[in-house]
Structure 1
Amino acid sequence: MARILIVDDSPTEMFKLTGMLEKHGHEVLKAENGADGVALARLEKPDAVLMDIVMPGLNGFQATRQLHKDPETSRIPVIMVTTKDQETDMVWAKRQGAKAYITKPVDEDNLWRTLNDVLAVSHSQ
């Protein structure tokens, strides 16, 4: 299956998302902040990134923008996974390059559908 990078500073969210992804056969890479997430994405070239927004240092918006603007990582789809549920946050995420937006708590079926959708589009490009 796919290699998915989770970028989230919450050990609880990291544990939950890892369990959901591994249950469906995905390989999981992990980063606890935006800067490490960007560095790991550049190094490992995952199939997709699940990106939290609120993190210390480089936040999820900034990290997504860096990935989107870098020719080496611009094709990696980023899905924002966050507690921020305002329309303005969703619009801003898309402007930074995010392909999808999921609010926490994460519904496993929604995650699975969203991930499959972005991976299908990514592989068809």
Structure 2
Amino acid sequence: MGRTILVVDDSPTEIHILKGIIEKGGYSVISARDGESGIEEAKRSHPDLILMDVVMPGLNGFQATRQLNRAQETAAIPVILVTTKGQETDRAWGLRQGAKEYVVKPVASKELLGKIKSVLNG
């Protein structure tokens, strides 16, 4: 069994939903409840991929993604933003922060697993 995905989201319900989808796809899941702890967890565990919420207290997902991309130890870890912010401007901004993909909630499991696969194998 291979790859580990870090889910960063302040909603326990969202973490639970995403974890179910990801585990069905054959991946291991670890989680963090906000941007700061997400960055710490990424540095500690070096996951293969990070699913990052955008709207969180403290450091938001855009800021956390930018920090992950700028830090040498985490720059190689791809980030997929998973958010309720569905505007094209949000998507463009997220990709400019270094995210590899952008998925709008509510997440369709087939779409999410497809993007995870393409980012990990891409």
**TM range, smaller chain:** over 0.9
Q: Deviations over 1:55-89 (max 9, x none)?
A: 00000000000000011111100000000000110
2:53 alignment partner in structure 1: 52
The TM-score with structure 1 as length reference comes to: 0.95
Matched, 1:22 2:44: no
Q: How big is the shift at 1:24?
A: 1.9
Long gaps (5+) in structure 1:
none
1:40 alignment partner in structure 2: 41
2:101 alignment partner in structure 1: 100
1:82 alignment partner in structure 2: 83
SS at match of 2:5: strand
Q: How big is the shift at 1:3?
A: 0.2
2:117 alignment partner in structure 1: 116
- Runs of 4+ aligned residues of structure 1 deviating over 4 Å after TM superposition are none
Matched residues, number: 121
- Report % sequence identity: 54
Q: How big is the shift at 1:41?
A: 0.3
Long gaps (5+) in structure 2:
none
| One-letter amino acid matched to 1:98 | A
| One-letter amino acid matched to 1:34 | G
Q: How big is the shift at 1:23?
A: 1.4
Q: How big is the shift at 1:16?
A: 0.3
| One-letter amino acid matched to 2:21 | M
